[in-house]
Chains A and B, each alone.
Chain A
Amino acid sequence: MGITELFNQKLRVINLGVPLFAADLAQQGHAVTELDWNPPGGGDPRLLAALEKLEKVKDKVDAANRQVFLAITIAQPFLEGIARAGDVIPGMGERTLLHAGPPVAWKDMCGPMRGAVLGAIIYEGWAGNPAEAEKLAGSGEIAYSPCHEHDSVGPMAGVVSTSMPVFIIYNRVHGNYAYCTINEGLGRVLRYGAYRQEVLERLKWIEGELAPALQQALALSGGIDLRGLIAQALHMGDEGHNRNKAGTSLLFRLLAPYLARTELERDVIGRCLAFINSNDHFFLNLSMPAAKACLDAAGDVPYSTMVTVMSRNGSEFGIRVSGTGKRWFTAPANQVNGLYFPGYSAKDANPDIGDSAITETAGIGGFAMAAAPAIVQFVGGSAPDALEYSKLMYNITYGENSAYTIPALDFRGSPTGIDVRKVIELGILPNINTGIAHKDPGIGQVGAGLVKPPRQCFEAALLALAGTVDILD
């Protein structure tokens, strides 16, 4: 009997509740651990009831989550090539614009997204100038749809139009695809809502010269294992969201020989390599669709409480959960807590925006902060804080991704697979690293920092998950 066994052990107490009881034990020199306990769901009885309901089918939920976690972690996203968005992205009509985050109507779009829409319309030649573009944008002739509903992701405004070249990522284990545009660089760029001439010219250059060149190189490469690149980048100070120096460098190293072996002119190769070299975030547009390809393999598993999408459109934050399929759970997006470039401050900032939180959803980005201590300073933290940010995330995730290990945590796998139940129960929200966009179109990035999703998304998801139990059981 276990009780008699206890009599033969040293009693070690875990205290939750009245701190005095723990203090009394400590004063006597007895072993005691005090929990940093908070009421689950902030004490909301509806959430508590939902947790209890899921508890009753715990075995099914755990099995579903195990399946989801496995899918995320065994997926093998490969960069296979580049193609025109309209040719490969499913469900993309001629006059469709994809955007970041959950669904949003033109009239509700934030400044940077409106700017990006105008830029994309002019880029496609659907309008000749910003005024005409604005008229067309609100005319009802343009269909707006979230990237996430088309196997795609887009950083910041995330606007994708039909002529834009996109990376094709293929998950060789599950056979699904993910797509993302090519990163344009820093400063005034479309993803931050800039649409002046130089921005559109750069996009045209990407379409006309960079994309075909990279396509040739990729064809020679036979596909690039992005999981392998991300794994290495995490050992080199990246976290795959706000720091992509290492990933970009590794990609550059891989691509350069293939580019050199193409029939392209030396000047073209030179411009392409210089462009990649000049942009520390070039790899972001690969870490994101890599994460997307893994997570899409984990969608639509009944009973699963694991998050498959976290994403923002600049007004609203939205999540999707495996067990509730395509349904969005949205709430107003938060402001980013971070550092601003000189000359800018919080009053210039747009609320949190972009599909890039897909990296955190897959267990990198803010979840792998311990791998990238350099960027913890965005929120005024120190190197030990970076470790704590990651350690905290183990509380709300299913498991550790053995492919993505973190040297500073003694090669512990990155915390992977956000469990809505744990988020609500412990009141710990995911840490997301992100850039800060200027609220006005066209100005660009004004800082970077850390942001949390609104709690309401997870609350709504939990309630909906508990609702599915009634239907499934």
Chain B
Amino acid sequence: MEEKILVRPNTYYDSVTLMSASQKVGRMEGIDAALLGMGTQLNLELLGALGFDGGAEAGPNDLILAVRGVSPEAMERALAEAERILTRRAEQGSPRRAGLKSLAQAARLGAGNLALISVPGAYAVREARQALEHNLHVMLFSDNVSLQDEVELKELAHAKGLLLMGPDCGTAIINGVPLAFANAVRRGSIGIVGASGTGIQEVSVQIHRQGGGISQAIGTGGRDLSLPAGGRMVLDGIEALRQDPATQVIVVISKPAPPEIRAKVLTALEQCGKPAVYCVLGGEAGSGPAVKQAGTLLETASLAVEAAGYPVPALEWVGDALAIEAAGRLTGGQRYVRGLFGGGTLADEAMLLLRRKLGRVYSNSPLSSGEELADLGRSFRHTVLDLGDDRFTVGRPHPMIDYTLRLARLEQEAQDPEVAVILFDVVLGWGSHPDPAAELEPVLRRVRQSALVSGRDISLAAYLCGTERDPQGYQKQKDTLEGAGVKVFGSNAAAAEFAARVAQSVEGGQSSGNYGAVQPEA
């Protein structure tokens, strides 16, 4: 063991720098002990305690560099390192920057004007309240928020003239900015207030396809039209769109609502002074003096586009030919439709259209109590599943992001010899899976192949909810699906209608042939 003590007169370093350097140098390979320090009484004592012999001549203004190591080379390296540390200039960048921790802080710094909150429900109410108190508009994506909390938040928002979109609000487009799950659509003169996320997605996509555009799309959460919530956000949304000069037509996508709430909404629409479309799935179509009513999402979009004065493109009338052709390739016993949906409202719309032709459609979220599926794991006759149901999403992301469950169910349904058509939605847009067709393609090929091997064909029908502006690339998604033998339709209604007609054809029933929405993607 050798040691070396250097004394640099009148060379001052802060004691902390020196302690830090001592520690680093002391840990170097081949170094037994190191002390870099000013020649203070304390350091001289420490030097003695470490067994160094010397340095006593150093005064408080002198720097001591003392190292003990296994070889002269090790000590040279250590002294060079000490030199390097002591002459180091401030390095660029810091390992950790204190980020913004709270909404209050972000609001104080003027970091934004809308809070998009998707934290777990247990925390969401508090965060939403804080956002409102700091005058931030709120989109509350989180679910598991009590109705009472929802009402309180909405009262606060209403009092402050702020948006409280949600809870459980998946979709909004504000000032052309798609929030959470939303498609890239043209800006335009149609404003939407919607209680359903996929309802807003489908209507905005259909408006875009028919040449129209969206001024604002305000989500309200599914319970806004319940009696306790009183339609507060829907009504505030209508009022905001009424005042918005860029909005010429107002669309409300409702859910079934108590009569007094429904009446309030219709009154607000009638009095808003702008053409309005009111959609409730399964509702009676009809036209009041100012408010047109629609029973499907597709119809809603068409009425809105028409009211906005865009030229409504003629729907391509296809009739039954496509369905009859598909049915012709099926074998005896194949008669049921199975729908696997990621979008809840798309599932609802499909069920409505299917039951018009096929009667009962069973589901985990059925249209009527008699159509409740007994076993979620096994489909029964005509079945449509909303795979976004909480009972399916426990411990996994939403089916618009994660296709695992859908793929497994696809394989399961395809093995059922009674299945004629598998109908499914693929929702594109921001928030959704970045390349769903790539996930689906191999499975779709395989199920079709194995059906063919067992002497059956199987009809695959999909609705691709998206626009050419969506990040996934609409055309690429469509080509991939079609390459796997899927018939891709331009609206959810058309895909459902196709599925219904295929099932009807194999049953030998008579199709009505007068539904105009069968519009395979041109």
Contacts and interface: CB of A to CB of B under 8 A. Distances in A.
**Mutual binders A and B:** yes
A86 B135 CA distance: 56
B163 to A, nearest CB: 6
Given A12-B112, A45-B122, A6 B137 contact: yes
A9 B137 CA distance: 12
Contacts of A43: 122-123
Contact of B19 (A18, A28, A339, A428): A339
A25 B98 contact: no
Given A2-B160, A18-B141, A380-B20, A35 B100 contact: yes
A384 B96 CA distance: 9
Given A1-B239, A7-B216, A16 B244 contact: no
Interface stretch (A48-56, A71-79, A162-170, A297-305): A48-56
A39 B103 CA distance: 13
A258 interface: no
A20 interface: yes
Interface string B81-107: 000000000110111111111110111
Chain B contact-residue range equals 35 or more
B45 interface: yes
Interface in A331-353: 339-343
B126 interface: yes
Interface in B36-50: 37, 41-42, 45-46, 49-50
B117 A17 contact: yes
Contacts of B244: 4, 7
Interface stretch (A114-122, A174-182, A387-395): A387-395
A17 B118 contact: yes
Interface stretch (A144-152, A228-236, A314-322, A371-379): A371-379
A214 to B, nearest CB: 23
Contact of A2 (B45, B95, B162, B246): B162
Interface stretch (B173-181, B199-207, B248-256, B446-454): B173-181
A342 B117 contact: no
Interface string A1-29: 11111110111111111101110110110
Interface string B16-31: 1101101100100000
Contacts of B16: 339, 374-375, 377-378, 448
B328 interface: no
B405 interface: no
A384 B92 CA distance: 9
A391 B98 contact: yes
B116 interface: yes
Contact of A21 (B94, B175, B179, B243): B179
Contacts of A17: 116-119, 141-142
Contacts of B34: 342
Contacts of A40: 123, 126
A29 to B, nearest CB: 10
Interface in B105-141: 105-107, 111-120, 122-123, 126-127, 129, 131, 135-137, 141
Contacts of B239: 1, 3
Contacts of A21: 116, 118, 141, 179-180, 431
Nearest to B142: A17
A377 B17 contact: yes
A268 interface: no
B98 A392 contact: yes
A20 B34 CA distance: 50
Contacts of B90: 382-384
Contacts of B102: 35, 37, 395, 425-426
A39 B123 contact: yes
A274 interface: no
B272 interface: no
Contacts of A32: 112
A395 B105 contact: yes
A7 B106 contact: no
Contacts of B178: 24, 28
B174 A11 contact: yes
Given A25-B177, A375-B16, A187 B42 contact: yes
Contact of A13 (B41, B112, B127): B112
B401 to A, nearest CB: 8
B359 interface: no
A30 B177 CA distance: 7
Contact of B91 (A3, A377, A380, A382): A382
A263 interface: no
A30 B116 CA distance: 13
Interface string B470-489: 01000000000000000000
B65 to A, nearest CB: 12
A3 B96 contact: no
A342 B141 contact: no
Nearest to B17: A377
A57 interface: no
A426 B101 contact: yes
B161 interface: yes
B177 A36 contact: no
B175 A7 contact: yes
Interface residues of A, number: 66
A5 B91 CA distance: 45
A10 B114 CA distance: 10
Nearest to B124: A17
A97 B263 CA distance: 78
Given A17-B117, A17-B119, A343-B49, A186 B42 contact: yes
B435 to A, nearest CB: 14
Given A4-B244, A13-B177, A374 B14 contact: yes
Contacts of A3: 137, 161-163, 236-237, 239-240
A462 B377 CA distance: 47
A33 interface: yes
A238 B98 CA distance: 22
Contact of A20 (B41, B42, B431): B431
B430 A24 contact: yes
B50 A14 contact: no
A18 B142 CA distance: 10
A385 interface: yes
B340 interface: no
A327 B69 CA distance: 54
A16 B243 contact: no
B385 interface: no
A216 B142 CA distance: 68
B431 A35 contact: no
**A3, A48, A378: residue with the most chain B Cβ atoms closer than 10 Å:** A3
Contacts of A4: 240, 243-244
A343 B43 CA distance: 11
**A17, A30, A377: residue with the most chain B Cβ atoms closer than 10 Å:** A17
Nearest to B236: A3
A430 to B, nearest CB: 14
B179 to A, nearest CB: 7
A31 interface: yes
B35 interface: yes
Given A2-B161, A16-B103, A52-B126, A388 B177 contact: no
Nearest to B160: A2
Contacts of A187: 41-42, 45
B33 interface: yes
Given A383-B90, A426-B101, A16 B126 contact: no
Interface of B: 14, 16-17, 19-20, 22-23, 26, 33-35, 37, 41-42, 45-46, 49-50, 90-91, 93-103, 105-107, 111-120, 122-123, 126-127, 129, 131, 135-137, 141-142, 160-163, 174-175, 177-180, 216, 236-237, 239-240, 243-244, 246, 430-431, 471
Given A6-B175, A13-B114, 5 more contacts: A7-B246, A9-B113, A339-B16, A343-B49, A395-B102
16 contacts: A6-B175, A17-B116, A24-B431, A33-B111, A34-B99, A37-B102, A39-B122, A48-B122, A340-B19, A340-B23, A342-B50, A343-B49, A343-B50, A425-B102, A428-B101, A448-B16
**A-B pairs with lowest CB-CB distance, top 3:** A17-B118, A2-B161, A36-B99
